[in-house]
Chains A and B, each alone.
Chain A
Amino acid sequence: MKTTAPLLLLIEDDPQFRLLLRTTLESQDYRVLTAAAGRDGLIEARNQRPNLLILDLGLPDIDGQEVIRRLRTWSEVPIIVLSARDQESDITQALDNGADDYLTKPFGTAELMSRIKALLRRVAKLPGGAQEYFQVGELKIELTKRRVFVGEREVHLTPIEFRLLSVLVRNAGFVVTHRQLLEKVWGASYVEHSHYLRIYMGQLRHKIESDPAQPRYLLTEAGVGYRLSTEEIQ
């Protein structure tokens, strides 16, 4: 095992599931630390400084949401949340608290691996400064020049539509919650006005997608938020 391999911290109370994830992750050449409870997890995170955290929301001692909040007071480490409760409100809350991505149990390990890779890639990219160019499928976006193309055709966006798209581009591949989008595009006083987001998202889809009812790029995570796809769906 290479010492340079990324260090993952897994906070999960179920021993079988912990074993499964640990085995799977180690087979992918990650170094894995585990904790069975929230407090232990927080201590491990402080001492070991992992590159990424996988957190189960239902923990025996402190609530997973609380773990995220405490962690975010001093650390920017990427967090993937695992939830057995398929309550969208839990997931939304976790993301609003600062988690980066989520998976609902049960999930395939391949899915987890791709999320981990994507998150680690994003962290590695961040110090390089502002992203300038984004492309997926036919969609091309030049952030600094504020230009958007679908294939060869240039699409004209209003300032708000462009702001909305650029927030999604900066988090491409990751879900951005309704609240985060409203706050970043319209401002903090608009977080309850979700209809703004729906209307502009509809407009944006009609300008960018070939079939707005079956979007390829601007994907809906029902009840949670939106995700800009980074791989083209066939």
Chain B
Amino acid sequence: MKSISKVTEKHFDRQGSEFSYIYWFWGIAVPLLLTLIDWPFRQILTPSNILLVYLLGVFFVAIRFGLWPSILGALVSAAAFAFFFAPPIFSFAIADPENLVGLAVMLLVGAVTSNLAENVRTQTRVAEHREQRAAALYRLSKELAEARLETEIIEIGVRHIHSEFGGRNTFLFPDCNGLVCYPDEPPLGISLRGADLSIARRVFSNGQMAGYGTDTAPDETAVYISLNGSTGTIGVLVLEPVDVCRISVPEQRQLLDTFVNLIVHALERAKLAEQAKDATLKMQAETLRNSLLSSISHDLRTPLATIVGAASTLETDEERLTKDSRRKLVGAISEEAQRMSELTTKILEMARLEAGEVLLNRQWYAPEEIVGSALRRLDKKLKNRQVNVHMADNLALIHVDAVLLQQVMVNLLDNADKYSTAGLPIDISVVTTPFSLSITVADRGQGIPEDLQQKIFDKFFRIHTESAQSGVGLGLSICRAIVEAHGGDIQVSNRSGGGSMFQLHIPILECPPTIDPEEKD
């Protein structure tokens, strides 16, 4: 990258006057030097031979220093030849007409060769620049091809334009209202800051270049170039060149246009990829919604059918029913309503977690309190079960949302109860280290087939669909959502000796607070 900008600099600087003086100097110095060399041999060499030596000098100047220094060299050579070598010596007069012709030929040959040499040099230079531009484009396109995100592409663009054209630059894009605005991301070191938004907006709407060197807002130090994509202008490039030559020369202008086009295409490609991803996500959400609907309609309608049926029987046939069947119907209503209520709670809870609304209300809690309150909520269900709680002896507090974590425990215990034969024990163990809290809930049920161990945390996934046992298939997804909101993870494995074991880890990020010791009275 560096070498390119150096060469580019040379190219522009050569047109400056500073270097030309040295070239002119060589135009004079070379013939004088040759005069000095030739002088001792003036007796041996004929004037035509000396002319050939001068011609060699003119060639050299022409090739190294260009047309005009070589013409100067030819003139100086002519003068030196006339003065020092052509008789009469020490006079500019030339007596021999042969020498005059020779001199004229030398001037002519000098002019022609230097012209040719200059042409070759220019072409070489042009070819070199073309190659450098091609290399720059290649590097840009290679980096762009690897970039996936819009921000990456913009960063690459800013960097390459900076190194190729010199000067700070920035890309401005419209916000959701379609108005060009400053980017949200923090700028790079080489980003241009403080671009004029009103000019950028005008450029964005009419697609015309503006700013320095144009008819619109020529007082600006920066140039505003619209980024024209396939579907219209997508943004504005604002470039503040250190040297205006670098972008005003046609080749450079073309190069800049190519740069901009490459960047625009990369941006459009990234946008399309994003849209494709959105579409896939939307489709997944749609599938999820459908499975939610089918799941809800089954799980809510079944108990609802019982409730509506039983209630209408009670309403219409009250006299004909025996006391016993009336009691059974009422019992069914109450049981099914209870089931519906649980399902609704779970669905709402999941919706709340899904919507990302849940802000953890983290407070310091003792782990045993969370386990204890979960067990109490289930004490009716777990009445006939042995629940072994193994709690590490330390009382370190943990910074969690106790209500949500209690929900996790309730769901896990509820599952353990639901899927293992009544009377088999449930084991809970709680271990805290300085860095994490681990809770394990293990049952002696059938365990979970290994290929399903990941799937059971998915929404609406049930191992036995539509069995009376299972719920709506949300309990474990709720658990996972809550644990992940705490920055932790939850897994299931099969237990040696049968049954499944759910294990959750929650990282401890803060040290527990200390309290002032109590004064004895």
Could you list which residues of chain A lie within 8 angstroms of chain B, going by C-beta atoms?
86, 88-89, 106, 158-160, 193-196, 198-199, 201-202, 205, 211-215, 219-223, 233-234
The tally of residues in B whose CB lies under 8 Å from a CB in A reads: 33
Write out the residue numbers on chain A whose beta carbons fall within 8 Å of the beta carbon of B337: 106
Write out the residue numbers on chain B whose beta carbons fall within 8 Å of the beta carbon of A158: 518, 520
CB–CB A159/B371 < 8 A: no
B43 CB-CB contact with A under 8 Å: no
CB–CB A223/B403 < 8 A: yes
CB–CB B369/A202 < 8 A: yes
Interface centre among B379, B402, B406, B515 (most CB of A within 10 A): B515
| CB-contact partner of B397 in A198, A220, A223, under 8 A | A198
7 closest A-B pairs by CB: A223-B403, A195-B364, A220-B373, A213-B368, A213-B389, A222-B406, A202-B366
CA separation between A159 and B519, bound complex, in Å? 9
CA separation between A89 and B373, bound complex, in Å? 17
B270 CB-CB contact with A under 8 Å: no
CA separation between A217 and B257, bound complex, in Å? 79
CA separation between A32 and B370, bound complex, in Å? 39
The minimal Cβ–Cβ distance linking A218 to chain B, given in whole angstroms, is 9
B513 CB-CB contact with A under 8 Å: yes
CA separation between A221 and B402, bound complex, in Å? 10
CA separation between A223 and B391, bound complex, in Å? 22
Beyond A159-B521, A195-B363: 9 further Cβ-contacts under 8 Å? Answer: A86-B345, A159-B518, A202-B369, A213-B371, A213-B372, A213-B391, A214-B376, A221-B373, A222-B370
Write out the residue numbers on chain B whose beta carbons fall within 8 Å of the beta carbon of A194: 363-364
Write out the residue numbers on chain B whose beta carbons fall within 8 Å of the beta carbon of A160: 518
Nearest chain-A residue to B514 (Cβ)? A195
CA separation between A135 and B203, bound complex, in Å? 84
CA separation between A219 and B372, bound complex, in Å? 8
CA separation between A63 and B274, bound complex, in Å? 45
Write out the residue numbers on chain A whose beta carbons fall within 8 Å of the beta carbon of B321: none
CB–CB B379/A233 < 8 A: yes
Write out the residue numbers on chain B whose beta carbons fall within 8 Å of the beta carbon of A223: 361, 402-403
CB–CB B375/A106 < 8 A: no
The minimal Cβ–Cβ distance linking B77 to chain A, given in whole angstroms, is 98
The minimal Cβ–Cβ distance linking B520 to chain A, given in whole angstroms, is 8
Interface flags for B36-70 (1: CB within 8 Å of A; 0: not) read: 00000000000000000000000000000000000
| CB-contact partner of A214 in B363, B389, B430, B515, under 8 A | B389
CA separation between A219 and B512, bound complex, in Å? 23
CA separation between A220 and B363, bound complex, in Å? 15
* Contact flag A199-B397 (CB < 8 Å), given A106-B337, A233-B379: yes
* Contact flag A211-B389 (CB < 8 Å), given A222-B403, A223-B403: yes
CB–CB A195/B513 < 8 A: yes
The minimal Cβ–Cβ distance linking A208 to chain B, given in whole angstroms, is 13
B283 CB-CB contact with A under 8 Å: no
The minimal Cβ–Cβ distance linking A207 to chain B, given in whole angstroms, is 13
CB–CB B364/A214 < 8 A: no
Considering the complex, which residues of chain B in the window 341-375 have a beta carbon less than 8 Å from any beta carbon of chain A?
341, 345, 361, 363-366, 368-373, 375
* Contact flag A199-B403 (CB < 8 Å), given A106-B341, A158-B518: no
The minimal Cβ–Cβ distance linking A230 to chain B, given in whole angstroms, is 15
CA separation between A160 and B372, bound complex, in Å? 23
CA separation between A162 and B391, bound complex, in Å? 25
CA separation between A55 and B373, bound complex, in Å? 26
| CB-contact partner of B364 in A106, A198, A215, A234, under 8 A | A198
Write out the residue numbers on chain A whose beta carbons fall within 8 Å of the beta carbon of B361: 88-89, 223
B89 CB-CB contact with A under 8 Å: no
Sample of 14 A–B contacts (CB below 8 Å): A89-B361, A159-B520, A193-B513, A194-B363, A195-B363, A195-B513, A201-B369, A202-B368, A213-B371, A214-B376, A214-B387, A219-B373, A219-B376, A220-B372
